[in-house]
Amino acid sequence: MIYEIHLYAPKTGELVPQMMDWLFEFGQSDEQPESRWPVRAINPKTVARLLLKLDPSLKAVPGPAGDVELHHSDERLGIILYIHNRGVIVFFPYNAYGVLSRVVLGICYTYIRYLYEVGGFWSYDPQLNILSYADDYRSIEETAQLMDKIMPRLLP
């Protein structure tokens, strides 16, 4: 199973559940005026350059409509950062109860924390329905435990 965490830079400085509801309802439409968007528009190439400063080993791949994908240099880890005009989606494989899961989570949370610090990106975990301003290393273990508790029930 591929796990995903969404990152957005809220215009108000804080991401709240109502903003996520708005994004799920209207986020795929280009018809909304900028003033209605609860999150800032971003330049995917600029955000990709920021992430490449943190981790120069990431491999950039052009995405559709000007989006950018950054693939972790170790393809076995399966980490992909998908950068679009409103945010970043961090994709990684979910492996229950594994040491490798903790390593992958640690890498992903490093990217998440960095984007919070340099760009004000907040994270939303749609699988666990959790919003966070930034995830510290203590919460990695809490997240892993919650994933191990909830996710196996969702798998076929």
25-67 tens-digit pLDDT: 999 888 999 999 999 999 999 999 999 999 999 999 999 999 9
Question: What are the strands, taking DSSP E only, across the chain?
Answer: 2-8, 59-62, 68-71, 80-84, 87-93, 122-125, 130-132
2, β-bridge pairs: 93
Nearest Cα residue to 40 out of 15, 67, 72: 15
Distance linking the first and last C-alpha atoms of the chain: 10
Averaged pLDDT, groups of 10, the chain, 156 residues long: 91 92 91 95 97 97 95 94 97 73 84 93 86 60 60 53
Does this model's pTM top 0.95? Answer: no
CATH number at residue 112: 3.30.310
Q: Which domain holds residue 18?
A: 2-143
User: Cβ(12)–Cβ(39) under 8 Å?
Assistant: no
Residue 148 placed within a domain: no
Contacts of 2 (CB under 8 A, 6+ apart): 78, 91, 92, 93, 94
Q: Residue 34: inside a domain, yes or no?
A: yes
Nearest-angstrom CA–CA distance, 26 and 18: 12
**Number of compact structural domains in the chain:** 1
